[in-house]
Each structure stands twice: as C-alpha cells, then as structure tokens.
Structure 1
Amino acid sequence: MDKLVIAISSRALFDLNDSHRIYEEQGLEAYQQYQIAHESEPLQPGGAFSLVKKLLHLNTQLNSQRVEVILLSRNSADTGLRIFNSIEHYGLSITRAAFSGGASPYRYISAFNSHLFLSMDGADVRHALEQGVAAATILPSTTTMASDDRLKFAFDGDAVLFSDEAERIYKSEGLEAFARSEKQSANQPLSGGPFKPFLAALQKLQMEFAPGESPIRTCLVTARSAPAHERVVRTLRAWNIRIDESLFLGGMDKGGFLKAFDADVFFDDQEGHCDSARHHVATGHVPHGVANEIGRAVTPDTISNSGQD
C-alpha cells in the first residue's frame, strides 16, 4: 500500500534559530561545538512541528503506517544527534533521515519518493519544485497549533494546485482579459500545478476513512471570483479530485478566512498573500510560476541559503 511521504528540513521541524545564528556569525566549528554541547537539550518546536505531529497521528487513527515523515538536513550525523534526540523527546515516529554534511539535501527528496518537501531554505525548495515535487518555504510565524483536532490543508489555486497559465494572462493583460479568457475556457481543464500530485495523494488517504469520518479536510482559497470560478470547478471534476471547501474571495485578504477555516498550513505562490496568512496560520511560500519570475519573494532564507538546515 502506498504511503504519503513528507520530507522536512530540521529547521522547519524545530526552532534552530539560535544555533543557526552561531553558524552565520561564528562559523561551522563553533556551530558544531554548540550542537554537541547542547545535544541533550530538546529543541523547541518549529514552524511545521504541529503539522508533522498531526500527520503522524493519522497512522494511529488508521492503525496502519500510511504516513511517513523523512528528515533531510545539512547537518552531519554528529551534529544531527541533537535533532534525533529531540525527535525522541517529543515522541515523533521519524526513523529515516539524510544528513548531508553541509551540502544541500534536496537531491534525496525524489529518492525517498516524497510527495511534499517543507524547508526554510528557499533555494532547496526551488530545486525540489524543479524535480517535480510539491515544495514550500515555511515562513516565520507566531501561530500555534490549530484548535481543531482535524488536519486541515489550505491551498491557493493558480501556480499551486493549477498551472500558472491563467495567472500569466492576468499579469500581462489585466483583470478584464483574465475574466474573459477564463469564461471562454470554462470547459477546458487547467493543467496541474506543483501541488496537484500531493492533493491527489492526500485524497487517497482521506478515502481510507469511512465516509464522513476523515480527520483530513482540504480547502481551496483563491482570489478568483465568478465567473472565473467555473473553470476551477470543472478542472477539479475532470481530475476526479474533491476539495472539501472552496473560498472564491475576489481579491479579498485571505488571512481572516484562513483563520476561520483553522488551517494547519496554507500554501500560496505570492509573497503578499503569504505575508498576510502567516500572521494567522502556518504558511508555506511556493516559489513557482509567473509571480516568482517577475520578482522572487524575499524571505530570510532566500537571503541566506547556506545554513545548517
């Protein structure tokens, strides 16, 4: 039986800001000494910790190992011991890892058959997307675990679930041309974006549960509005993929709606939407599509990509 496989970097799983700062200011040797000296001290949860905990809990609910989380890290096995000690401290069932000793670990993502890669390193995320794997840069956030016991994923549409073909028209020709084109193409399904395979795998997992009892819930949160909504509905129907909730916001700010949905994580390709969302829910920036060709989103990790993630 196929597993849902999530690859995650150590800095997305745990708060490594202090040790990362030492690496940047004092160098690799000081970083290594710091990690070894503190390896018995559990790390604090990071931006994707709550999401990972809920994902792994699905195995208990299904009484089957249907979800696996893989740790990918630039640490060596020596400095990574603190990370595995922290995994054990929190009772996370993570047993597979790749410690790449300073090199980027993204090349192992496909080897592990990963459906999704989460990191705080923008360069690694872009490499993963180039490999055809859904990937997102987890942004700094002060949010806590969603209050609902269910696992809730929220997705932007264009350039995330769908290709950016429609967004390119909007960027180059404006809103009226976009609306006109989408109305004319309402019966023509959009091509899949980088997160289509992940959503399909997630739906397979949802179907493992009895009707109405799945703890997984999905939501499309898009700036589209009528009449551009019709092509989205028909595209999902053509893919035979069901979304539990759909929000067509017509350009309204997404943050408040994501908070109302109580999302565990939200994925969007546009920096402005991500900046709004991260104040309400855990947020992953997807550096894909025309919006990121025009101007790549600037995050702490697109500025500094060489840390011990």
Structure 2
Amino acid sequence: MVSTIKNTDVKQKDADHAVVLAITSRAVFESGSKDDDDDDDENGVYGRSVAFPLLQALQEVNKRLLVENPAECLLFDVVLITTDCQQQRQSSRIISSTRHHGLEVSRFCFSSEEDFVENLQKNNVHLFLSTDQNEVLQAMQEGLFSALLAENCAASPPDQLRVLFCEDAVSQPDSSPTSASRQAAQHFSAQLGKIRQKFRMFDSPICITLVTSHGGKESCGNALKALRSLGVSVDEAYCLAGAPHGPILSLLRPHFLLSHGFSSLED
C-alpha cells in the first residue's frame, strides 16, 4: 500500500526544477519523546530526532535562494516517508508535528517496508536519507542515490547546510552497486553544485566539504577534479592521509556524508 499526501500548508515546488530529498519520518521525529517546549502526549506532537537540523538547514537555503531571486525554481523539495507501522497508524500526528515545528515538507508518503522504494521512485527522489542502513542499501540497489544519516548529525547547525563528500563518492564511482545509482549520484551532485554557485564565497547557507582518507595531495587533487567536472566547487578540502576521522567530523558537523561505500567515517 503506497499513498502520498500533499502538504497544503506549503507552496509546492516546481517539479521540473526542484531537487527532491526524501527523509524517513523516524529520522526527523522521535516517537514517544518529549518536545523541547511542549508535552509530547498532551499536544499530539512528536519530539525531534537526529535529522531535524537538516530540515531546518534545507529551509534556510531555500529562504536565502528566494531572497536572492523570488522566482527561483531550483529549490530543495522535502518529502517525508514513513515505513514505521506505529507512525503510519498516526499519520495525522506526523502531519501535525511537521506543522507544529514549522517544517517545510511538501509531501507525506506512507508505505510498507516492501514498497518504500516504489514510493521514492513515484516522487522522483534525487537523494534518499535514512538512519537504517538496510533501507539505504536497498534503495541504492534499485538505482536511487542514498545516504546513511549518522547519530552525530543531530549536532549539525540549523542555519547552514553542511554536505561532506567522501573520496570514494567521487574518485571511485565503480564502488556504487548500479550504474543507475552512479548516474543519480552525479545528477544530485551537479544540482547541489548549481545551488552553491548561487551564493557568494562567504556567508553562504550551504557549505560543501571534501575529505580524502588516504593518499596525499595527488589523491585530494584527483577528487577535487572529479567534483569540478560535475560543476561542484568545494568550500573546504581536507587530506587526512590515514589519520582518524573523528576529530575532523566533530569540527565539521556535516548533516550527511555522500559516499558510495557507506562506510562509517567514525571508525
């Protein structure tokens, strides 16, 4: 069973130009938790989970884009997808929670775990984000560009979208499970690059960072060239040369990591 509900509280994005991100509702809302300001049970509102700052940052980018150009069509379009049985039974609660927190979600999608990829495809999703590794891999195998949300993304800033490219996402494209997902990754990266180019070097609501784990300057240079070939100019680049990833990730606080390998950078 697959169903999609449009959010009448927000203006729908231009389907031909918008960059569609689908995020699982359980990554945004924590069932049974207390909201920062209100009692979860009394108000029928879900509390905030790890991806909440990500949605706020996406809204900030859209807001700044429209300030620069009120007719802008290249905007982030957020779809909230629910496969959790408990949350599906409380679909109205998800919608009211979104309204309560002031989140700009265009569509709410409800499906079983078996049919969620069909839901993503019907909504022309460019990037799927989840805290469930199995969902991420399943979507990738069906040709959808996907990324795993880490627990530490809850500490990411709400006023600047921070995207981190891992070296195997740009310099080892063959590591992706399918050619379709490689093409999807390149398309999303190119669209992300176009959005970044609309802002100045400083005081931008979006920051793109490259981290290379191994090798020296040549490895980092090759990764930069691969991104530039897609129209992506990075704000910062770090060559770790085998050093631990934890300290740099704690400093950068990215909302999500783009890597075909989906290996944990916190090891």
User: Do Structure 1 and Structure 2 share a fold, with TM-score over 0.5?
Assistant: yes
Deviations 1:36-56 (A, max 9, x none): x95843211111110111102
Match of 2:69 in 1: none
Deviations 1:112-151 (A, max 9, x none): 121211112323211221233221232334842338x322
Q: Give the C-alpha shift of residue 72 in structure 1.
A: 1.0
Q: What does 1:130-279 align with in structure 2 at a 5 Å threshold? A: 130-141=141-152, 143-146=154-157, 149-158=159-168, 160-163=169-172, 165=174, 195-210=185-200, 212-226=202-216, 227-268=218-259, 269=261, 271-273=263-265, 275-276=266-267
1:73, CA displacement in angstroms? 0.9
Q: Distance in 1 between matches of 2:188 and 2:25?
A: 21
- CA shift in 2, pair 1:16/1:222, >3 Å: farther
Residue pair 2:111, 2:119 contacting (<8 A) in 1 also: no
**CA RMSD in angstroms, aligned pairs only:** 3.1
Give the whole-Å Cα distance in 2 for the aligned partners of 1:141 and 1:240.
28
2-structure distance, mates of 1:39, 1:124: 32
Correspondence 1:36-51 to 2 at 5 A: 38=41, 40-51=43-54
Structure exhibiting the larger radius of gyration computed from Cα positions:
1
Indicate conservation of the 8 Å contact 2:162/2:255, yes or no. Answer: yes
8 Å CA contact retained: 2:160, 2:206:
yes
SS at match of 2:95: helix
Which shows bigger deviation, 203-212 or 86-95? 203-212
Q: Name the amino acid aligned to 1:223.
A: S
1:9 Cα deviation from its structure 2 partner:
0.8
**Contact preservation (8 Å) 2:51, 2:153:** no
**Selected match of 2:30 from 15, 21, 27:** 15
The 1:225/1:233 distance shift into structure 2, 3 A limit, reads same
Counterpart in 1 of 2:20? Answer: 5
Structure 1 residue runs without a partner (length 5+): 19-36, 168-191, 277-309
Q: Answer whether contact 1:161 1:194 (CA < 8 A) is retained.
A: no
Name the CA distance, whole Å, in 2 between partners of 1:137 and 1:245: 22
Counterpart Cα distance in 2 of 1:271 and 1:210: 32
Which one-letter code corresponds to 2:24 in the other structure?
S
Match of 1:136, SS?
strand
For residue 248 of structure 2, what is the amino acid of its counterpart? F
Q: How far 1:91 moved relative to its partner?
A: 0.6
Figure out how many residues of one structure are paired with residues of the other and give that number. 232
Q: Where do 5+ consecutive residues of structure 2 fail to align? A: 1-13, 34-39, 67-71, 177-181
Query: 1:241-295: per-residue Cα shift (whole Å, max 9, x none)?
Result: 322211111111112112223433334435442x44xxxxxxxxxxxxxxxxxxx
Residues in 2 aligned to 1:109 and 1:142: alpha-carbon distance in whole angstroms: 23
Assess if the C-alpha contact under 8 Å between 2:129 and 2:146 holds in 1. yes
Paired letter, 1:138: L
Query: Identity of counterpart residues, as a percentage?
Result: 26
Maintained 8 Å contact 1:221/1:254:
no
**Aligned amino acid, residue 234 of structure 2:** I
Provide TM-score, normalisation by structure 1: 0.65
Query: Which amino acid is the alignment partner of residue 76 of structure 2?
Result: V
Compared CA separation, residues 200 and 231, structure 1 to 2 (3 A): same
Q: Which TM-score applies when normalising by structure 2? A: 0.74
Distance 1:55 1:257 in 2: 23
Which segment is superposed worse, 40-49 or 222-231? 222-231
Residue 84 (1) aligns with residue 95 (2) = yes
